[in-house]
Chain A
Amino acid sequence: MASIWRYILAGLGLAALLLGIVAAVYLTLPPSASGPDLSRSKKTANGLFVASFEPEHGVVRQGELQSWLLTLKTAAGAPVEGAAITVSGGMPQHDHGLPTSPQATDYLGEGRYRIDGVKFTMSGWWQLHFSISAAAGSDSVVFNIVL
Chain B
Amino acid sequence: MSRLTSVACLLALANLALLGGCGEPQFSDAEKKTIASLALNTLPSLKSDTTNQYADAPAAAALGSTLFFDVGMSRDGTVSCSTCHKIDRQFQDDLPQAVGVSHTNRRTMPLAGVARNPWFFWDGRRDSLWAQALTPLENPLEQAGNRAAFSHYIKKRFGERYERIFGPLPDLSAVPASASPLGTDAEKAVWNGMTAAQQDDVNRVFANIGKAIAAFERSIEPQQTRFDRFAIDLATGAAAQGDAVFSPEEILGLKLFVGKANCVSCHNGPRFTDNAFHNTGVPPVDGLPPDRGRVDAVAQVQADPFNCLGKFRDGDESACRELRSMVKDGPQITRAYKTPSLRGAADRPPYMHAGQFSTLDEVVAHYSKAPPSVEGVSEVHPLDLSDRERAALVAFLKTLSD
Contact = CB atoms under 8 A, between A and B. Distances in A.
A3 to B, nearest CB: 11
A62 interface: yes
A103 B274 CA distance: 21
Interface string A88-130: 0000001111111111000000000000110101111000000
B238 interface: no
Interface stretch (A4-12, A26-34, A71-79, A135-143): A4-12
Given A96-B379, A121-B275, A122-B265, A65 B7 contact: no
Nearest to A19: B22
A5 B274 CA distance: 57
B328 A101 contact: yes
Contacts of A5: 3, 7
Contacts of B325: 65, 100-103, 116-117, 119
A97 B330 contact: yes
A65 B379 contact: no
Given A1-B4, A95-B379, A63 B322 contact: no
B18 to A, nearest CB: 9
Given A65-B325, A122-B268, A99 B7 contact: no
Contact of A62 (B268, B326, B330, B379): B268
Contacts of A63: 268-269, 274-275
A106 to B, nearest CB: 12
A123 B7 CA distance: 48
A117 B321 contact: yes
Nearest to A117: B325
B31 to A, nearest CB: 12
B25 to A, nearest CB: 16
Interface in B30-45: 34
Contact of A98 (B3, B321, B327): B327
A124 B269 contact: no
A63 B267 CA distance: 11
B4, B277, B321, B379: most-surrounded residue (chain A CB, <10 A): B321
B266 interface: yes
A88 to B, nearest CB: 10
Given A100-B325, A117-B321, A121-B275, A8 B268 contact: no
A8 B332 contact: no
Contacts of A102: 325
A101 B11 contact: no
A12 B10 CA distance: 11
Contacts of B265: 94, 122-124
Given A5-B7, A97-B327, A100-B327, A65 B268 contact: no
Interface of B: 3-4, 7, 10-11, 14, 34, 118, 265-266, 268-269, 274-277, 321-322, 324-328, 330, 332, 377, 379
Interface of A: 1, 4-5, 8, 12, 62-63, 65, 94-103, 116-117, 119, 121-124
Given A103-B324, A116-B321, 10 more contacts: A5-B3, A5-B7, A65-B325, A97-B332, A98-B327, A100-B326, A101-B326, A102-B325, A116-B325, A117-B325
Closest 8 CB pairs of A and B: A117-B325, A121-B274, A99-B276, A100-B325, A121-B276, A122-B265, A1-B3, A101-B325
